[in-house]
């Protein structure tokens, strides 16, 4: 797949032969000994490379083909091709494959998480005599509207305050929520879902199949501009005439363009949760600000808990919803959320007994907690990565291939082993592909099972061959027009200066500083900008960055979830591909 190593070795041989010939005293014209042969960047990129701005429609078309493909073996092959294209841009630079860590007091039980980092609190129990669970997930949430959320903490809040047709059990398997079950037509295209009798909103009004019709159409529509709207694109009529209907109060019908093996996961995903039309449209500017209806406490929901208090940037309170379909199994009456991204303050609050559950741990405390029974490490399907904005000004004046060569240099200079061992510290695996290890391939197998053999570069090369890897990075940068001094650092004539955007958690900052030091090996100057969580999310989405920390935890166990997010129209396409 990669031409680089062979071409690099060939280049070394050519330069060596040229050096041998330099001693010839013939008076015939000879090349200037000071002139260096610089490789063509077009010869150093992957065969899968396409221009991520001008030619990205090819990727969009491939994703559409994958979604329509009914031959599952062919579909898997096409998904490998899509990842080849994505990785060839080198805008997406994987660092490690995720696991999740949290602290939980020994008197708490019943909290569980699915492989996609959504945590469920509604069946928790407390043996300390309290009826209130005190938690920290993150700082101020970006959105509480389930159709608009695209963050992990927001998904956790949605899963505990709204209920979809399906949900996840403690084993991570889908199970009916508002639904009792469904039937599928023989061709696999028409789903008929039966809802539970007597479903209610938190205000006591009836929740019917018509609410799901409204909610799915709203989430998919161009007017709502939901980041995850593309998840509806396999339903006929997407985006603005979705083929969903409600023949009666407890029957919900939808029609697909092609069979979908992960439809239950979609029915359990927050973007597919119901919202009450009257509540949404009671907000004065609901047409131009679709999430405005639930930016203060008291909004109507249909899950185990309802938001009753919100002191912005400080705390949120959720109380048991007596109208929830499974309310008789909820024993914790209240959830109190500490809103903070300061993991030192969070850790102090946990140790002081002010928190029962903390989803963040300071990096310098992890090693001391590894044998603590209150410290939990759970597996996840996801990838921590860093990303370039393909439209960044640092690529101005470069050909698409030169820009890709620049990004490849960044990719190979990063010391992932150091990050995993000294910052992550909980068994993370250095990543060299975007789709995580262990993800199903949609055809009864595993998409990728060996990080070294099935990735796109050697994630340990900078450790095992430091000088050789730095030399490769220099060659790549030279192919993009950069000059170097005798010290192996970028010449002042052609500097690289850029900004790295991250949120304020200590682990993310430590990773940023590690990357900053790695890139300094060839003279790249990286400054670090820290932003509050909700601001950070919006800046990435808007493309207001050069280089940023990213992470993607799968929404369901199929590679298409990791691939469709990069289509031109996707609200999760932070790299700005095709734009």
Say if residue 30's pLDDT is above 70. Answer: no
Q: How confident is the model at residue 350 (pLDDT cuts 50, 70, 90)?
A: very high
Q: Tokens for 387, please give them.
A: 């990303």
Checking if the pLDDT of 127 tops 70, the result is: yes
Q: Where are the domains of the chain?
A: 4-98+382-566, 106-341
CATH assignment, 4-98+382-566: 3.10.105.10
- For residues 171, 176, 178, 182, the Cα torsion angle rounded to the nearest 10 degrees is 160
Q: Which of 391, 382, 477, 474 is nearest to 433 (CA)?
A: 382
Tracing tokens 């996961």 back to the chain, one arrives at 265
Residue 1 CB: number of other CB atoms within 10 A? 10
Count CB-CB contacts under 10 A for residue 445: 11
CA atoms within 13 A on the CB side of 45: 28
CB atoms under 10 Å from CB of 316, counted, come to 22
For residue range 419-469, list pLDDT tens digits in order. 999 999 999 999 999 999 999 999 999 999 988 888 999 999 999 999 999
Long-range contacts of 243-249 (CB under 8 A, 24+ apart): 244/212, 244/213, 244/216, 244/217, 245/213, 246/208, 246/209, 246/210, 246/212, 246/213, 247/209, 248/209, 249/195, 249/206, 249/208, 249/209, 249/210
Q: What pLDDT score does 6 carry? A: 38
Rounded to whole angstroms, how far apart are CA atoms 411 and 431? Answer: 11
Q: What is the mean pLDDT of the chain?
A: 93
| pLDDT > 50? residue 3 | no
Residue 169 is predicted with a pLDDT of 97
Token pair of 302 as six digits: 């249909």
- The two structure tokens encoding residue 297: 């406490």
pTM of the predicted model as reported, rounded to 2 decimal places: 0.91
Q: How far apart are CA 274 and CA 270, in angstroms?
A: 9
Cα–Cα distance measured from residue 279 to residue 269, given in angstroms and rounded to the nearest whole number = 21
Give me the pLDDT at residue 34, please. 45
- pLDDT tens figures, 307-338: 999 999 999 999 999 999 999 999 999 999 99
pLDDT category of residue 33 using cuts at 50, 70 and 90: very low
Q: Is the pLDDT of residue 31 over 90?
A: no
pLDDT in tens, 266-282: 999 999 999 999 999 99
pLDDT confidence of 382, banded at 50, 70, 90? very high
Q: Where are the beta strands (DSSP E) in 287-428?
A: 305-311, 315-320, 334-338, 357-358, 375-388
Nearest to 468 by CA among 1, 5, 2: 5
If you average pLDDT over residues 28-47, what whole number do you get? 72
Architecture of domain 106-341: 3-Layer(aba) Sandwich (3.40)
Q: Looking at the predicted structure, is the pLDDT value of residue 19 above 80?
A: no
92-104 and 525-531: which strand pairing? unpaired
Question: How confident is the model at residue 24, as a pLDDT?
Answer: 39
The pLDDT value recorded for residue 17 is: 36
What pLDDT digit, counting tens, does each position of 61-95 carry? 999 999 999 999 999 999 999 999 999 999 999 99
User: How is residue 226 written in tokens?
Assistant: 């939901």
Residues in the chain: 579
* Fold agreement between 4-98+382-566 and 106-341: no
Q: What is the pLDDT of residues 454-508, one digit of tens each?
A: 899 999 999 999 999 999 999 999 999 999 999 999 999 999 999 999 999 999 9
Give residue 86's region: left, alpha or beta (phi > 0; psi -120 to 50). alpha
Amino acid 35: pLDDT = 55
Q: Residue 500 in 3-state DSSP?
A: strand
């Amino acid at each position: 797949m990669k031409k680089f190593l062979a071409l690099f070795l060939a280049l070394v041989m050519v330069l060596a032969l040229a050096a041998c010939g330099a001693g010839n005293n013939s008076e015939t014209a000879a090349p200037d000994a000071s002139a260096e042969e610089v490789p063509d960047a077009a010869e150093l990129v992957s065969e899968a490379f396409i221009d991520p701005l001008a030619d990205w429609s090819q990727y969009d078309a491939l994703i559409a083909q994958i979604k329509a493909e009914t031959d599952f073996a062919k579909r898997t092959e096409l998904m490998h091709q899509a990842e080849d294209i994505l990785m060839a841009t080198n805008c997406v630079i994987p660092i490690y494959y995720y696991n999740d860590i949290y602290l939980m007091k020994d008197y708490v039980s019943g909290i569980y998480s699915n492989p996609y980092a959504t945590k469920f609190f509604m069946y928790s129990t407390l043996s300390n005599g309290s009826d209130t669970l005190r938690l920290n997930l993150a700082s101020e949430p970006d959105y509480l509207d389930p159709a608009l959320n695209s963050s992990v903490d927001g998904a956790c809040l949605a899963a505990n305050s709204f209920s979809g047709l399906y949900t996840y059990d403690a084993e991570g398997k889908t199970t009916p929520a508002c639904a009792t079950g469904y039937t599928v037509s023989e061709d696999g295209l028409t789903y008929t879902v039966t809802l539970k009798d007597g479903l209610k909103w938190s205000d006591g009004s009836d929740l019917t199949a018509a609410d799901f019709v409204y909610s799915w159409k709203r989430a998919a529509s161009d007017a709502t501009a939901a980041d995850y709207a593309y998840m509806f694109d396999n339903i006929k009529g997407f985006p603005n005439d979705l083929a969903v209907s409600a023949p009666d109060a407890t029957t919900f019908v939808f029609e697909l363009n092609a069979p979908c093996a992960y439809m239950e996961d979609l029915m359990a995903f927050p973007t597919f949760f119901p919202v009450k039309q009257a509540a949404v449209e009671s907000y004065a500017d609901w047409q131009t600000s679709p999430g405005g209806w639930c930016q203060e406490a008291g909004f109507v929901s249909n899950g185990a808990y309802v938001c009753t208090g919100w002191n912005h940037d400080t705390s949120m309170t959720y109380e048991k919803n007596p109208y929830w379909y499974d309310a008789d199994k909820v024993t914790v009456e209240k959830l109190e959320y500490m809103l903070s991204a300061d993991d030192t303050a969070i850790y102090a609050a946990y140790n002081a007994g002010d928190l029962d559950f903390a989803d963040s741990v300071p990096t310098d405390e992890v090693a001391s907690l590894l044998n603590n029974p209150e410290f939990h490490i759970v597996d996840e399907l996801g990838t921590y990565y860093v990303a370039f904005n393909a439209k960044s000004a640092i690529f101005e004046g470069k050909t698409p291939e030169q820009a890709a060569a620049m990004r490849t240099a960044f990719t190979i200079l990063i010391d992932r082993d150091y990050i995993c061992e000294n910052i992550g510290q909980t068994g993370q695996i250095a990543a060299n592909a975007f789709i995580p290890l262990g993800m199903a391939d949609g055809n009864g197998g595993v998409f990728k099972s060996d990080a070294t053999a099935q990735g796109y570069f050697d994630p340990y090369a900078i450790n095992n061959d430091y000088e050789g890897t730095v030399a490769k990075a220099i060659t790549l940068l030279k192919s993009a027009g950069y000059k170097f001094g005798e010290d192996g650092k970028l010449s002042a004539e052609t500097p690289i200066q850029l900004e790295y955007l991250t949120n304020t958690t200590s682990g993310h900052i430590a990773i940023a500083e590690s990357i900053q030091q790695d890139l300094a090996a060839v003279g790249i100057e990286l400054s670090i900008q820290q932003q509050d969580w909700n601001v950070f999310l919006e800046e990435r989405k808007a493309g207001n960055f050069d280089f940023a920390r990213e992470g993607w935890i799968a929404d369901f166990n199929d590679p298409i979830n990791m691939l469709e997010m990069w289509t031109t129209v996707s609200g999760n396409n932070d790299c700005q591909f095709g734009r």
